[in-house]
Amino acid sequence: MTRYAFAIDLGRCIGCHACTIACKSEHDIPLGVWRCWVKEVDRGVFPGTERVFLPVLCNQCEDAPCMEICPTNALFRRPDGIVDLDGDACIGCRSCMAACPYHQLFIDPNTGTAEKCNFCANRLENGLAPSCVVVCPTECRIFGDLDDPEDPLTLLLRENRVDVRRPEARTAPKIFYLGAGKGDLDPLSAAKAPMHRCADAGPDTPAGLLEAAVDGGAAPRKPTVEEAYAGAAPEARQFLETLRRHPAGDVAPGRPTVSLDVFHRRPWGFDIAAYLVTKGIAAGAFGVGCATSLAGVLDGDLPRAVAPGIGLAFLIVTTALLVLDLERPERFLYILRRPNPRSWLVRGAWALGAFGGLCLLALARRFVPFFDAIPERPLLVAGLLAAAAAQVYSFFLFRQASRARELWGGWLRAPGLLVEGAVLGLASLLLAHLMSAGEPRDAEVLGGFLAVALVGHGALLFLDLALHPEPGSRASLAASKIVRGEFSLPFWVGAVGLGVVGPLLLLVLGSGSIPSQAVGALAAIVGVFFWSRAWVYAGQSVPLA
């Protein structure tokens, strides 16, 4: 057996960045993205200061979250223990980026597929050392085989104290550091300088934005900061907004301060938040239709035709959002053609497929004479279970990335998704019923159930944010950003005010009027979107590297 690994002696690294350049040259890595880089951390108080250079690369985890979540087996483990990536199988879903606790994966802008360090496997196959090892002038990188008891690396690890990045993530990383301090390895222990020196100044990077604002770049006249801001990529605008809100950074005397780092793209954004809502409408509408039919609360076309119709329509919208969110959307069917059954992206696709089939079957039973012989009750039970599975699988998907994004690991998110589905389903059915001018009694029933669901939704919002353990952990830090940080306005105004309190007042105090019911139902849907967006974004707002 072979298990390749690195030990890096920080006392010998001089920060020449030869490893970064050699890596880019060896693997033809474009500007703006990196397989490896050197982070710089300043320690101490003047005049007793020092700068630590921290080479960073893929940890080649023994228990690799990226492999587990990858839906197409594009990430795989070689016989020598190296976690490698097959670009021809990657669909660009960025789930590996979301699940990596170390920010080591990125999307290659030339290919639209994921990329990462593979210990220069192409060189190892030809008996050569990794390029970063060859060019290091101080030989601070020691590369070897952990399964060879006489290997210099094994001997070094046996005789010296070493540290790894984020041991609490339980991934068993194979990059070991000698002479590292907590502020070097833990991004939460080090302050962020208000502005980093950056190795890339492309037009869509923070450095490129600031360079354009200061120097004018190639423009015929010097642009203002506002002009540069208006034409910048979303990630660069986010960076500049951070500088505007916190011009001094969080630097404090004596606190380790990161003075050089690379910019990390947020893996999942607006499309994923929207997908949670459209999928919730689909699953919720069909699930509510099945449940109310089984209970005999509603009858006729509303639960048996409108509900599966809404379910099928919004399932199509959900699928479109998921496909368009991929960097390589033309490879979407790889999820079905070469599935990784451990990935909840794949299991979710199976759940959505079964859900869509039952929606079609329910519509066929209602409108096609040949299918009316299908027993109704078993179909309704199966539909209810499929709707629940289609809604709650997202909990397991996000939880699969929770070793990196700890906010996404709370168990209350599972019942929270089910209740959100009920809110979205009841609200959409109520809107459909009001537009069709149906029986007032059905509107009262739907409005009453929606009010109850909104109370449960509001309670679970606060419980989900309040019950995260370990104050100071990444989960509690992300939750605090929702309650009183950068996401507090959309949370309190959008999710709570517009999405819970407002609809409840309209439904309870609106005397059953059609305008109050319609506005309340619509506000409830918008409020769930605000909550989903805050939850998705906040989970990715805590630094990993």
3-state SS, 481-522, equals: HHHHCCCHHHHHHHHHHHHHHHHHHHHHHCCCCHHHHHHHHH
- According to the model, what pLDDT value does residue 503 have? 96
Least confidently predicted of 161-170, 398-407, 509-518: 509-518
Distance CA 59, CA 101 (A): 10
Is the pLDDT at 346 greater than 70? The verdict is: yes
20-74: pLDDT as tens digits? 999 999 999 998 899 999 999 988 887 788 899 999 999 999 999 999 999 999 9
pLDDT band at 207 (very low <50, low <70, confident <90, very high): very low
126-149: pLDDT as tens digits? 999 999 999 999 999 999 999 999
Domain 4-185 carries which CATH code?
A: 3.30.70.20
What is the residue type of 250? D
- According to the model, what pLDDT value does residue 233 have? 52
Distance CA 319, CA 335 (A): 13
- Global pTM reads 0.88
As a whole number, mean pLDDT of residues 471-497 equals 92
Please say whether the structural domain 270-539 has been given the CATH code 1.20.1630.10: yes
φ/ψ region of 172 (left if φ > 0, alpha if ψ in -120 to 50, else beta) reads left
13 DSSP 8-state letter: -
**Domain limits of the chain?**
4-185, 198-254, 270-539
Q: What is the mean pLDDT of the chain?
A: 89
Radius of gyration over alpha carbons of the chain, in Å?
Answer: 26
Is the pLDDT at 510 greater than 80? The verdict is: no
As a whole number, mean pLDDT of residues 220-228 equals 48
As a whole number, mean pLDDT of residues 283-291 equals 97
Is the pLDDT at 204 greater than 60? The verdict is: no
pLDDT band at 262 (very low <50, low <70, confident <90, very high): confident
Q: Tokens representing 240?
A: 């500049």
348-383: pLDDT as tens digits? 999 999 999 999 999 999 999 888 889 999 999 999
List, as one string, the DSSP characters of 182-246: HHHH-TTTSEEEEEEE-S---TTSHHHHHHHHHH-TTSSSPPPHHHHHHTS-HHHHHHHHHHHH-
Distance CA 396, CA 405 (A): 13
Let me know if the fold of 4-185 is the same as that of 270-539. no
Q: Tokens representing 360?
A: 């079609």
Q: Give percent of the chain above pLDDT 90.
A: 74
Distance CA 509, CA 503 (A): 10
Higher pLDDT, 495 or 245: 495
Is the pLDDT at 167 greater than 80? The verdict is: yes
